Amino acid sequence: MNGLLLTDGYKTGHHQQYPEGTEEVYSNWTPRSNKYAPKGCEKVVSFGQQYVFMWLHEFFKDNFFSKPKAEVCNEIKEELSMYLGTDYDVSHYEKLHDLQYLPIKVKSLPEGVEVPIRIPMVTIVNTDKEFYWITNFLETILSTMLWQPMTSASIALRYKRIFKNWALLTDAENLAFIDFQGHDFSMRGMGGVTKFSSFRNGTWGCFLWF
């Protein structure tokens, strides 16, 4: 799939809506609420960022930058012109293809730490002033790939603590059994094989044990 299709439809016009002279957009990924989290999940486990940004880099390399500019830009022009009902200008995408990389700088809290609600966990900013629009253009794919791993990791850690608490009260000599009690069934709740497949080296199955 063309990497430029990995965004919400409304973002395709954002580059025209920023104030004139905009050169930098600095955004953050922040867990805003634990309203729907299980009781006791007061923080969010930082998890998945390294994989997600490596995936993003490889996906755009394979599905945008390495393909002929005319091919990928004409495809997106055709799709968006039909979607928006207008002759969509893809010149900003053509310039991105000429650049041959995503001009962003990412900072993240370490994976595995617990982060209080409403504390930013990841920040992203454009590194080339001509591509101020890229920061929030990428927000869609980053959000869809980060929220589930972090949610699963946070809930799993809560389960682990419940197991350990009751094991200490009832069977302290067999704490090793917790490893079996907490074995991972989270794949079935994920959004599809794509998100899960690159965690198969063990990181995903072990997130329970932070």
pLDDT digits (tens, 9 = 90+) for 73-126: 999 999 999 999 999 999 999 999 999 999 999 999 999 999 999 999 999 999
Handedness of CA 62, 107, 133, 48 (dihedral sign): positive
The C-alpha angle 160, 39, 161, rounded to 5 degrees, equals 15
pLDDT for the residue numbered 193? 64
Domain boundaries, the chain: 45-209
pLDDT tier, 207 (very low <50, low <70, confident <90, very high otherwise): very low
- Helix-helix angle 91-99:69-84, to 10 degrees: 150
Distances, alpha carbon 80 to alpha carbons 11, 93, 122, in Å: 11, 12, 30
Rg (Cα) of the chain, in Å, rounded? 21
Instruction: State the amino acid at position 148 in one-letter form.
Output: Q
Query: What would the mean pLDDT of 125-152 be, rounded to a whole number?
Result: 93
**Residues 4-19, mean pLDDT to the nearest whole number:** 92
- What pLDDT, on a 0 to 100 scale, did the predictor assign at position 194? 57
> Which residue, among 6, 2, 3, has the nearest Cα to 143 in the 3D structure?
6
Phi/psi at 33 (5° precision) = -160, 150
Q: At what angle do helices 49-60 and 139-170 cross, to 10 degrees?
A: 150
Task: Give the model confidence (pLDDT) of 143-169 as tens digits.
Answer: 989 988 898 889 889 988 999 999 999
Whether 184 and 205 have beta carbons less than 8 Å apart is answered as yes
pTM: 0.82
- The reported pLDDT for the residue numbered 12 is 93
Could you give the CA distance from residue 174 to residue 186 in angstroms, rounded to a whole number? 25
The pLDDT of residue 73 is 96
Average pLDDT over residues 127-154: 93
What six digits make up the tokens of 40? 């006791």
161-180: average pLDDT: 89
As a whole number, mean pLDDT of residues 2-22 equals 93
pLDDT surpasses 80 at 197: no
The reported pLDDT for the residue numbered 103 is: 98
